[in-house]
Amino acid sequence: MSPTVTDLAVEDVRFRTSEYLDGSDAMNPDPDYSAAYVVLRTDGEAEGHGFCFTIGRGNDVMAAAIAAIGPHVAGRPAPRTAADLADLYRALTHDSQLRWLGPEKGVMHMAAGAVVNAAWDLAAKLAGMPVWRFLAGMTPEELVSLVDFRYLTDALTPQEALAVLRAAEPGRAERTERLLAEGYPAYTTSPGWLGYDDDKLVRLAEQAVADGFTQIKLKVGADLDDDVRRLSLARRAVGPGIRIAVDANQRWDVAGAVEWMKVLAPYDPYWIEEPTSPDDVLGHAAVRAGQPVKVATGEHVANRVVFKQLLQAGAVDFVQIDAARVAGVNENLAILLLAAKFGVPVCPHAGGVGLCELVQHLAMFDYVAVSGSWEDRVIEYVDHLHEHFADPVVIRGGRYVAPRAPGFSARMLPASIADHRYPQGPVRQARHTPEETGR
């Protein structure tokens, strides 16, 4: 007999990453990586775990939004099938009164995504599989049933999505075995935080190459002379055969992005990430057309509709999904299918709190059952905060090792939650910021 979801619990968990400038960039100089963490409890032993990632203040707002969803899940049978998960996704994203707060974007949409992801964690645990294998074991018809095609059919119909999935179906078993044997390609942003000094940048860039990474990423956008110096140092440190992506974190307007990247282009940046507002589809297209560096974006894109428009406009060379920005696995499946239809590689955003743990499942599923390729595809990797998770990511030779434990790799250790709970956790108590103390 299937267990029943009894309640939804939410925790406000915050880490003081700003003390070391981990995560610092041109738009976010002092992030405190945080998670509005949700647990779906059942009347059995199984639980579902999920979260939204934030960077500090406002995490309490996110936690409150998740709590508002509680009535939709309490009393439901624990999800086990594609039909169950599709029904829950639609219930959370189609609630007209909560949807009004977006619609289908922003805090409420991210909150729905945290609960949807927790439901996938629960369903995969009940199936005894990691999420990537649970998804990849579904039929093309089941996968199509998970997607909300409203607003998409001018670019992707259910029939076209079914054709993409059926075309990839024959090689699933072989790709699964290859993935288990070789892992999935990764790149690292760890050398490139804007707050790091030059010596640290060079040391970490050299270490990344020694560790097997073939691509690193630097944050740019605060000062052009600094960017030229840092990119030159990084290029000398890693040599000509290593890709160096750069990321402006939405810092520029269109004209500024074009001119800035013309200056950086001689150092052979692999892509420019988030050159301008994540909502500006035509702006991204203009940046792509106006300078020689490829364009990537997606970590702050609000929903499948904006991804659809970016692809329709020819505005991006790389799609960057985020596991906790849109409404969970279901909406990310829609984006993966759109990218496959348009032939654009997906290179997921990760880092943060637990984003590496989550998004590896989506990229690996894409390889096995959607795109069938990892050519020009890499998952971002950042090397902090993994110790707070029960099933942390494993990187070997610059590649993600495929998870084998059941679930979404989302469960945070109870001791970490207790230590970093806001505001009463002992680590928080010892490290209050002026904003927290009212000074």
Cβ of 97: how many Cβ atoms within 10 Å? 7
What is the token pair recorded at 114?
A: 């945290």
Catalytic residue among 217, 219, 361, 420: 219
Catalytic residue among 125, 341, 349, 386: 349
Type of residue at 368: V
Q: With CA atoms as reference, report the closest residue to 267 among 299, 304, 229.
A: 229
* Cα dihedral sign, 344-350-356-362: negative
State the chain's maximal CA–CA distance in angstroms: 64
User: Torsions phi, psi of 396, nearest 5?
Assistant: -140, 120
Q: State the DSSP string of 160-198.
A: HHHHHHHHHGGGHHHHHHHHHHH-EEEEEEEEE-TTS-H
Type of residue at 187: Y
- The question of whether 125 is a catalytic residue gets the answer no
C-alpha–C-alpha distance, residues 421 and 165, integer Å: 42
C-alpha–C-alpha distance, residues 392 and 411, integer Å: 9
- Burial degree of 214 (CB within 10 A; 0-12, 13-18, 19+): middle
What is the token pair recorded at 293?
A: 């560096």
The packing angle between helices 328-342 and 355-365, to 10°, is 50
Q: State the DSSP string of 363-375.
A: HHHIIIIIS---T
C-alpha–C-alpha distance, residues 412 and 156, integer Å: 36
- Tell me: cis bond preceding 403? Omega within 30 of 0 counts: no
186 with 398: CB under 8 angstroms? yes
- The question of whether 219 is a catalytic residue gets the answer yes
Calculate the CA 344 to chain-centre distance.
17
Cα-atom radius of gyration of the chain, to the nearest Å?
A: 21
User: Torsions phi, psi of 23, nearest 5?
Assistant: 90, 0
The residues carrying an active-site annotation are: 219, 349
